[in-house]
Every structure is written in C-alpha cells, then in structure tokens.
Amino acid sequence: MAGAASALFLLDIKGRVLVWRDYRGDVTAAQAERFFTKLIEKEGDSESNEPVVYDNGVTYMFVQHSNVYLMIASRQNCNAASLLFFLHRVIDVFKHYFEELEEESLRDNFVVVYELLDEMMDFGYPQYTEARILSEFIKTDAYRMEVTQRPPMAVTNAVSWRSEGLQFKKNEVFLDVVESVNILVNSNGQIVRSDVVGALKMRTYLSGMPECKLGLNDRVLLEAQGRATKGKAIDLEDIKFHQCVRLARFENDRTISFIPPDGAFDLMTYRLSTQVKPLIWVEAQIERHSRSRVEMLVKARSQFKERSTATNVEIELPVPTDASNPTVRTSLGSAAYAPEKDALVWKIKSFPGNKEYMLRAEFHLPSITAEEATPERKAPIRVKFEIPYFTVSGIQVRYLKVIEKSGYQALPWVRYITMAGEYELRLM
C-alpha cells in the first residue's frame, strides 16, 4: 500500500494555519511554516507551479483554492497523485457544505471542518469523499435536531457512493450521451486540430440497491460476441469510468455493470481522435474601403444530413476595434454588434442540415488613423451550437437494464446531443 499522509493543513494566503489535523504524529505545526517558506522560494522558478515540494525528509502536496491553501505533509513515500486528488475531493465536500470554500467560511465552521476531516481520512489514508453520504451523518447546525448516532450503511458497505433504503414513487433513469466537438481550422481552410470528447451523463432515481447493465455498439464487444458490425460499431479511446463501474467485468467481457449513485453523475467519458468534418462551416470575406468603412460577407453552411437540425447556433465574427455604426442584413436569424467583444454575434435558433445562409454587414471606421498603426490581431471566428438526436461518433446505447431484488420496472430515458467545444475558424 502507498505511504500515508502525516497531516493535513488549511492555510490562509499568508501561510498562517487556519486548521490542521495530525493523523500519524510524525510532523508538527512547524512543518506548515517550512512549507510556506519553500513555496515562497519557488515562486521565481520555472517549476514554481508544481504541486509537490520536498524538504528535509517531508513531502508537501498542495492545491490553492480562492484564498486558501490545502496542504498534505507526509514523511513516507506516498502516492502524490492520489493525495492531490483527495485534496480536490476535500474542496468539493467543503463547497457542498459551505457554498464557497474560503478563509471566512472555514473560520465560521471550525467544528464541521474538523468532523469532516476526521471522517474523510483515517490514520493518513483517504476514506469517504462523497458529500451526499457524509451529509447524512455530519449535519450543519440547522439540521442538528435530526442527527442520528448510527452512520449510514454506505459508510460500512462496499458501495460507498450509495445509501441503502432509498425509495422513489417512480423509478426512472435518464442517460444523456453528450459529445463536444473541438475543431481548429487555419487561415488556409485546413483542419489543424480535430477531436470529439464524449460523456455518458446519468441521473438516477431508483429505489433500493439496483444493478444496472449498459450495452453500447462497441466494436470489441460485438466482435467478441460474433456479431456483424457492418460499420455501426465504434472504437472508443481514453475511456474513464465512475468508480461504481466494475472494471474487472468490463475488461473481461466489455460489459458495463454498476450500482449507480443516487442523482446526477458522469458514468463514463471517452475521446475520439479521428478527424471530424466541421459540422458548421463559416467563410468570411472582408473588404476595406478607403479606410472609412469595412464590408463583411459571411456564409455559414451546415455540413450534416438534412434530417438533423442545429439549435441555438451562435457565430461570433471579429470586427475592427474602432468599428462603429453597423448595418447588418441576414438571410436567417439575427445579428447584433457586441463592442465589448469587438465582434458581431449572429444567432440562428434553428439551422437545418445541408443548408447555407448569408450575412452582410457594413461598419464605419475613423477617417483618421495613426501613421504607424500596429497590425491588428486577427481573432478567429468562434461557433457555438447544439444538435439534438445526433452524435459524431455514431455511439448507440443498445440497452440499459435495471435489475433490483424487489422486481420493480424502471423507466430508462436515453437522448443524444452534440455541441461545439473549442470550435474556431481562423480568418482568411
């Protein structure tokens, strides 16, 4: 087992200790002072943003959130990545309790902070980091009348992310398959960067301790079962699962089997690095006339099939910083000048597939310009959109089964959506 944490410190922005919890008795409060001294020494170095500091036999791992430093000190050869991840979970739990994690909220809630630190780490080893589970037996003052001395089953159960005894009048599962398209096109119209990041986002409202099984059109699974793929199977990369998924089962037969947490969570994320055709292509022709006005002709074309429709399309077109008095005409949607962004924002509520629309705009420029004006930085065209009932990867949920010992019937709801991530086209 990896080495354990010796102590956890919460410090203010000047390095003063607000709260600290000693877990193993082999460090003192003076270590926080040594840590902050080393941190100040590092500030001028190229490695100053590294979250680990080593000094005189002690390893310090830290993150900064708002005006608070969270730091773990250890004398053992510990797993730094695991403990840094733990610190981020501590931040999530504190934000769940106090809305914001900052010096003032810590000072106002010392008692709850110490209770949480005692439950989240034992003898230097991380324990429970699910805020919803912790909130069942560590209450704020407003709820102390309901406190029970018996911890919830999730704390003593292997399924630490879910409480037993949950009951719903209507048992439902909502699964959203969300894909974000990242594209960067250079000024020559060539795709420089292209990938798709996907997530299976779930919201579960299920009674008891249900067992869920999810099947996708995963090429490895279909080939293992001897099924013909016929181009409908997909190859997923960089798959990451929520802790509830039985990884051994997935590695053995590609079955996604899990007991879900209650409420909203990301079941799985994945990436596709195959080159993606830009779903909405934008071309802009810009003409300057005698330094007094500029004309812009923009064509936007949807490059997906007619049966799909993009919604909430927003095309941000950069304009000169000194432009004024815009005159705009569009063949669809509306456009407005946003001087704070130095951009013209063209909004189209509904953009059907395989269609092209145009925008014409004219801006006035100051007639007097500086003799040696610096060349203007050309910002890219940025595009936002959503396409419901559509995925770039072609991922499909083949089945979603819910099995619970009481035998109730659960209603699964599945929907697909593709949206723009970092979607930029550099001007010609």
pLDDT at 220: 66
Is position 425 within any domain? no
pLDDT at 256 over 50: yes
CATH number where 141 lies? 3.30.450.60
233 located within any domain:
yes
Question: How confident is the model at residue 48, as a pLDDT?
Answer: 59
Tell me whether residue 69 is in a domain: yes
- Predicted confidence at residue 235, as pLDDT, reads 76
Is residue 162 one of the residues assigned to a domain? Answer: no
Tell me the C-alpha distance between 35 and 64, whole Å: 13
Q: In this structure, are 150 and 299 located in the same domain?
A: no
State whether 42 and 128 are in the same domain: yes
**pLDDT exceeds cutoff 90 at 423:** yes
Helix (H) or strand (E) holding 224: helix 219-224
* Structural domain includes residue 428: no
- The tens digit of pLDDT for each residue in 358-412 reads 999 998 877 655 544 444 557 899 999 999 999 998 899 989 999 998 989 998 9
The arithmetic mean of pLDDT across residues 101-123, rounded, is 86
Q: What is the pLDDT of residue 154?
A: 52
Do residues 130 and 113 share a domain?
A: yes
Residue 95 near residue 101, CB atoms below 8 Å: yes
Handedness of CA 249, 253, 254, 257 (dihedral sign): negative
How many other C-beta atoms can be found within 10 angstroms of the C-beta atom of residue 128?
22
User: Which residue among 131, 156, 181 closes a domain?
Assistant: 156
- Nearest-angstrom CA–CA distance, 57 and 164: 44
Mean pLDDT for all residues in the chain: 84
Do residue 211 and residue 80 come from a single domain? Answer: no
Residues 43 and 95 grouped into a single domain = yes
Q: Are residues 43 and 134 in the same domain?
A: yes
Choose the final residue of a domain: 388, 404, 422: 388
Which residue segment(s) compose the domain that 70 sits in? 7-156
Same domain, 139 and 24: yes
Residue 63 pLDDT level (bands cut at 50, 70, 90): very high
Asked if 341 and 229 sit in the same domain, the reply is no
Does 125 lie in the same domain as 48?
yes
Asked whether residue 228 is assigned to any structural domain, the reply reads yes
| pLDDT > 90 in the chain, percent | 38
**pLDDT tens track for 328-357:** 999 999 999 988 888 899 999 999 999 999
187 and 311 belong to one structural domain: no
Q: Is residue 153 scored above 60 in pLDDT?
A: no
Residue type, 45: D
Residue 251 is part of a domain; what is its CATH number? 2.60.40.1170
261 and 397 share one domain: yes
Q: How many CB atoms lie within 10 A of CB 318?
A: 21
User: Of the candidates 156, 191, 206, which is a domain's last residue?
Assistant: 156
Instruction: Flag whether 313 is in a domain.
Output: yes
Residues 263 and 189 in one domain: yes
Q: What is the count of structural domains for the chain? A: 3
Residue 26 · residue 125 · CB < 8 Å: no
Does 419 fall in a domain? no
